[in-house]
Amino acid sequence: MQEIEDAFVSECRRQGFQPNTATMNQLAIDYAGSVLNGGFIVLPSHLSIALKDAVRDLAQRCPEVFADIEATPNNASITQTIISEVRTRRKRSLPSDWSAVRERMTGITAEMMDQIAQTRQGK
* Cβ contact 68:18 at 8 Å: yes
pLDDT value at residue 92: 66
pLDDT value at residue 107: 92
More confident residue, 67 or 113: 113
Strands 35-37, 17-19: pairing is unpaired
What are the pLDDT digits (tens) for 35-45? 999 889 999 98
pLDDT value at residue 66: 72
* Cβ contact 22:62 at 8 Å: yes
d(Cα 94, Cα 55) in Å, to the nearest integer?
45
Does residue 50 have a pLDDT over 90? yes
pLDDT value at residue 73: 54
pLDDT value at residue 62: 80
3-state secondary structure string, 14-83?
A: HCCEEECHHHHHHHHHHCCCCEEECCEEECCCCCEEEHHHHHHHHHHHCHHHEEECCCCCCCCCHHHHHH
User: If you ran DSSP here, which 8-state letter would residue 1 be given?
Assistant: -
* Cβ contact 120:94 at 8 Å: yes
Q: Please state the rounded mean pLDDT for residues 44-60.
A: 90
What are the pLDDT digits (tens) for 68-106? 666 555 566 788 888 888 877 776 677 778 788 888 888
- Half-sphere exposure at residue 3, Cβ-oriented, CA atoms within 13 angstroms: 10
